[in-house]
């Protein structure tokens, strides 16, 4: 059974970089049938797609976050990660890791439980 587990800092200071790691178990992260992605939900707000990464390392980012965002794969550890730089309070959210249903890469069928990241000094 596929499982995704987010690990994040919990608290990040404004202007610093948020680093989130998503550990994948129960499936191969190098399977060419899926994308791996991140979605967030700010308090009281809706879902916001952050980005997707394919097993080749090809990335697709939310245009509104692209200038601050880097996603990467570590196949040796079966995990993928995101780094979001220059964070502000607006980046406070529950961050979810997820896997797409197929190689269209556009909908997610497996999700991690999510981790709350708060941006505050």
Partner 1 sequence: QSALTQPPSASGSPGQSVTISCTGTSSDVGAYKYVSWYQHHPGKVPKVMIYEVNKRPSGVPDRFSGSKSGNTASLTISGLQAEDEADYYCSSYGGTSNFVIFGGGTKLTVL
**Range 62-81, binding partner 1 (CB under 8 A):** 62-64
| Residue 8 binds partner 1 (CB under 8 A) | no
Which helix (H) or strand (E) element contains residue 109?
strand 108-111
53 vs 36: CA distance, rounded Å: 5
**Range 13-72, binding partner 1 (CB under 8 A):** 37, 39, 46-49, 51-52, 60, 62-64
* Least Å from the CB of residue 107 to partner 1: 4
Cα 6 from chain centroid (whole Å): 8
Q: Which tokens belong to 94?
A: 């529950």
Q: Pairing mode, if any, of strands 59-61 and 69-74?
A: unpaired
Kindly tell me which residue out of 9, 19, 70, 101 binds partner 1, with binding defined by CB under 8 A: 101
Residues that bind partner 1 (CB under 8 A): 37, 39, 46-49, 51-52, 60, 62-64, 96, 101, 104-109, 111-114
């Amino acid at each position: 059974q596929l499982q995704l587990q987010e690990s994040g800092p919990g608290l990040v200071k404004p202007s610093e970089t948020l680093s989130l790691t998503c550990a994948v178990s129960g499936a191969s992260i190098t399977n060419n049938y899926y994308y791996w992605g991140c979605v967030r939900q700010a308090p009281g707000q809706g879902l916001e797609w952050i980005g997707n990464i394919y097993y080749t390392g090809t990335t697709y980012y939310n245009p509104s976050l692209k200038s601050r965002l880097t996603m990467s794969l570590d196949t040796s550890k079966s995990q993928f990660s995101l780094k979001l730089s220059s964070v502000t309070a607006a980046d406070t959210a529950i961050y979810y890791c997820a896997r797409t249903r197929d190689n269209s890469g556009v909908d997610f069928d497996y999700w991690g439980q999510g981790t709350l990241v708060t941006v505050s000094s």
